[in-house]
Structure 1
């Protein structure tokens, strides 16, 4: 394609501007942060604050424009698919070479794994700061390095290779863990494409673009290297095998996601109940339930056995569940704190957890009585469980947790308006999943720019922006044609 034609290609132009904005992030670390000595997140210096606002706002805006192009013309993304793939890889390579800007988790991954590979201790039992002579202690947050491993045994197993290959070089370790996250991201994008190709082929190109160009995902995965994408890879792989009706394999793979990050254990009952509905006789249902339990405990036991065969391996996870900070409260805990200021934080956590448990039980009960337990309902309730967890229970809500729901929202966007939705689901999805994606992308990126305190007010502000501005732009091509025909 000639340069002149490329410059007329809106997809290429918008993607090029996004790439330029990602490149500008290089200067956030050197020289801005170094000059002002401001390594805080969110930044304390006005110049850095404005710099991040400019970059993140631009990324969100051009991401939105590319999606709008594809939504109004289904062929434009398909015809420019090679350009989409090229920039998807380019974005990630650009973010790969930039030091982590939003989190120190990459250093935590290396430090915790070195407890096993370098110091030959069990990281589930021994916290990293047992070895204070390690230079990584100065690069990690105190609450992180004084806690044993908080992730599952599969993540530890995955982490061994990049840690060993780094040969105690911190920069090499960071790059290798980033490459690992990028690999999971690329394969996850491929899985989303394959899933959409099976359920709605004419949406697969647009859905893929909605995932791979998402600036929050790109930033959290390729720059900050969060392992949440590894967890979601196994969730998506499980979904893919569910579509292929390989149900036992789907159960086993979803269990693998549990032994990366334990939160996905909430999804297993949903998957089992949806599959059971596809079994005809009661005998077949009982057989599948028994087989699912066997698969689950076999995978868990293997991970547990390889981790040291000691119940203390859950010490890190238990300690993490006690971590709370007001500025990272999700909506319901924050409202409790705001309106009942005398409530102890432990009481707030208990009330929030109870609210989520009640909601979860309602969801499971609802699934039991669903007549149509199909693929759409599976993904919808996966999404809903995570969404309600964010709203009701989380007292440690981080922007990279949105990695859990954006891929699911991308898939659900193919069929956002389901007449059989429950009232609670209709309430959440009435703005369509596309708007939820843009909403949480904005929320996640802007949380790096200014302190979300309290998050309730920010939610209100962003909500108003989407109501008055995006409502106009997110009109479908069909609606536009309809209005023209009326005139």
Structure 2
């Protein structure tokens, strides 16, 4: 007897003919927003340089001076506190945060303007504006002599270890060698915390840059900017492949490209997180061909291995995407079970088919991981290899987390040590407790994602489950920085349109994180009245996303039918007229 299976809903088709025949949409309003956002980018450069300026840009000083001249007129010191040095830093910090707030307002207005435009109009001019600001704004940050993070020097140190000294960053330290980068690398005394694919990139960059500092800054920033532009392109491709309207595609591009956090961190920070997201999105795009096929069709290894390889490479850049790959295996296995059920297989046969796909994919991923790690593991025993995964600072230190904030509160309040309140707070600073919370949170969200994918094995459900997992991880992790939020933005963009309260809540929470994560910078520089990251300061970054999720999840938005002025007047007259008795 033929078994009943879950039918995949037909995706809406994009009216491509409309795009070709309809004249380009009027985009003067988006153009004004684009110019305003570019102006915000130029205005923030001088405050950031005064706040955390570096001296490595002397070789291109004339060009940098022209770039900074657009905002050099901003006040240096507003005399907010008595300490002159602290007051100047406070002024730069508040100016940069104020410009960031203005940029987010322009970002929101731009989204609102696009949301009001026709669904399948010609958005080519609007998309050109999006590309222009993503490129120009990113280049402004690339050549800005300010650094909110020294990660590029950490990458440079790993690359020098491999390229210049033929050592493995998983077991050796840069401090063991007389390298000039020891002066700038914050983690020169720690082993590598990234995957081997990223180390290969670091090695190639170091072979080009040598011992010079400026090339490292520019190369890694340009690499992050190039990856960011690729991500915008991939978001557009994925949404088009899903059959979304031209408006939704354009909105997804703008959500990713014009987000102030993405603009700043990708151009200024040069982090490898952007490259990790590129391979995540590339894997999603390669899977889209199978997503559009009927659930009853049996997939072969060549259908899903390209996507799995890209997702595995993202893990080999940064381990943070590993839980997402596990969820993808759930999607793959459930997809195989439904195909087997359609062919009349019983539960045992369905599990066998799913196990075969998971085994083939798992072996391919394991082989790729071993192939990439092996050159860095040669000459080291199993005990050393296992130890290398727990030796990076992120395995035993705490940064910008609840644990660190509470720990610093204990350090300041040692005078009440032994009291009930002190002991209560101390119980929440134990490393083991937070490790358990991290594992439990990931395990819980993997279980929820498994259940969700079991009932609806689609890419959209996988992306939403991944957003939920990473968002919960942001709350309980012991190690977080602002650029970590970039992990979920690409996933949130491909979930458009936000149909349903839970998807709306997850996507809204993702973008709420990009706003409130800026509070970390208020406490990073230890400037009054903000001071250091301590006590309940974690509520500034974590409480707003939680509130956003709860409101969007449980608040039912009612769509009100627009009423014209004439209709409103007629309704008011009818309401005031006395009712007559029926004859």
> Which band: TM-score by shorter chain?
0.7 to 0.9
Structure 2: state its 5+ residue gaps: 1-25, 54-75, 78-85, 291-302, 341-349, 411-420, 525-532, 569-583
2:135 aligned with 1:62: no
Q: Give the direction of change, closer, same or farther, for the CA distance of 1:101–1:480 in structure 2 (3 Å limit).
A: farther
Q: Give the direction of change, closer, same or farther, for the CA distance of 1:405–1:9 in structure 2 (3 Å limit).
A: same
- Contact conserved, 1:127 with 1:147, CA < 8 A, in 2? yes
Q: Which has the larger radius of gyration?
A: 2
Q: Give the direction of change, closer, same or farther, for the CA distance of 1:455–1:417 in structure 2 (3 Å limit).
A: farther
SS of the aligned residue for 2:317 comes to coil
Match of 2:481 among 392, 395, 398: 398
Partner Cα distance (1:364, 1:431) in 2: 16
Please state how far the C-alpha of 1:341 moved relative to its aligned partner.
1.2
Match of 1:181 among 201, 206, 224: 224
Partner Cα distance (1:484, 1:438) in 2: 34
Partner Cα distance (2:504, 2:395) in 1: 34
* CA offset digits 1:89-120 (Å, max 9, x no partner): 11111111013431110111111211111222
> Match for residue 261 of structure 1?
318
> Match for residue 430 of structure 2?
345
- Contact conserved, 1:96 with 1:179, CA < 8 A, in 2? yes
- Contact conserved, 2:463 with 2:491, CA < 8 A, in 1? yes
Please state how far the C-alpha of 1:84 moved relative to its aligned partner.
1.5
Q: Give the direction of change, closer, same or farther, for the CA distance of 1:108–1:314 in structure 2 (3 Å limit).
A: farther
* CA offset digits 1:423-469 (Å, max 9, x no partner): xxx3xx45462x324311111233223455434431477469979xx
- Which segment is superposed worse, 300-309 or 109-118? 300-309
CA RMSD of aligned residues (A): 3.4
Q: Give the direction of change, closer, same or farther, for the CA distance of 1:268–1:80 in structure 2 (3 Å limit).
A: closer
Q: Give the direction of change, closer, same or farther, for the CA distance of 1:124–1:351 in structure 2 (3 Å limit).
A: closer
Residues 31-430 of structure 1 mapped to structure 2, 5 A cutoff: 31=50, 45-74=89-118, 75=121, 78-131=124-177, 133-141=178-186, 144-202=187-245, 203-245=248-290, 246-279=303-336, 280-281=339-340, 282=350, 283-309=352-378, 310=380, 311=382, 312-313=384-385, 315=387, 317-319=389-391, 320-325=393-398, 327-329=400-402, 340-343=424-427, 344-363=429-448, 365-367=450-452, 370-392=454-476, 394-417=477-500, 426=502, 429=503
* CA offset digits 1:329-350 (Å, max 9, x no partner): 389999x999931225223323
Please state how far the C-alpha of 1:44 moved relative to its aligned partner.
8.2
Partner Cα distance (1:257, 1:464) in 2: 28
- Contact conserved, 1:148 with 1:315, CA < 8 A, in 2? no
> Match for residue 9 of structure 1?
28
Q: Give the direction of change, closer, same or farther, for the CA distance of 1:321–1:166 in structure 2 (3 Å limit).
A: closer
Give the structure-2-normalised TM-score: 0.71
- Contact conserved, 2:312 with 2:365, CA < 8 A, in 1? yes
Q: Give the direction of change, closer, same or farther, for the CA distance of 1:159–1:242 in structure 2 (3 Å limit).
A: same
- Contact conserved, 1:127 with 1:148, CA < 8 A, in 2? yes
- In the alignment of these two chains, the number of paired residues is 456
Please state how far the C-alpha of 1:186 moved relative to its aligned partner.
1.2
- Contact conserved, 1:331 with 1:455, CA < 8 A, in 2? no
Partner Cα distance (1:231, 1:293) in 2: 20
- Contact conserved, 2:111 with 2:251, CA < 8 A, in 1? yes
SS of the aligned residue for 2:205 comes to helix
Please state how far the C-alpha of 1:484 moved relative to its aligned partner.
5.3
- Contact conserved, 1:200 with 1:414, CA < 8 A, in 2? no
Please state how far the C-alpha of 1:193 moved relative to its aligned partner.
0.6
Structure 1: state its 5+ residue gaps: 1-6, 37-41, 419-425
Please state how far the C-alpha of 1:358 moved relative to its aligned partner.
4.1
Q: Give the direction of change, closer, same or farther, for the CA distance of 1:261–1:333 in structure 2 (3 Å limit).
A: farther
Partner Cα distance (2:519, 2:122) in 1: 30
SS of the aligned residue for 1:397 comes to coil
- Contact conserved, 1:211 with 1:406, CA < 8 A, in 2? yes
Partner Cα distance (1:331, 1:406) in 2: 26
2:43 aligned with 1:24: yes
- Contact conserved, 2:195 with 2:319, CA < 8 A, in 1? yes
Please state how far the C-alpha of 1:210 moved relative to its aligned partner.
0.6
Please state how far the C-alpha of 1:270 moved relative to its aligned partner.
1.2
- Contact conserved, 1:69 with 1:76, CA < 8 A, in 2? no
Give the structure-1-normalised TM-score: 0.84
Q: Give the direction of change, closer, same or farther, for the CA distance of 1:153–1:448 in structure 2 (3 Å limit).
A: same
- Contact conserved, 2:470 with 2:488, CA < 8 A, in 1? yes
Q: Give the direction of change, closer, same or farther, for the CA distance of 1:91–1:115 in structure 2 (3 Å limit).
A: same
SS of the aligned residue for 2:335 comes to coil
Q: Give the direction of change, closer, same or farther, for the CA distance of 1:484–1:101 in structure 2 (3 Å limit).
A: farther
Q: Give the direction of change, closer, same or farther, for the CA distance of 1:123–1:84 in structure 2 (3 Å limit).
A: same
> Match for residue 573 of structure 2?
none
Partner Cα distance (1:351, 1:8) in 2: 51
Q: Give the direction of change, closer, same or farther, for the CA distance of 1:178–1:326 in structure 2 (3 Å limit).
A: closer
Please state how far the C-alpha of 1:64 moved relative to its aligned partner.
1.2
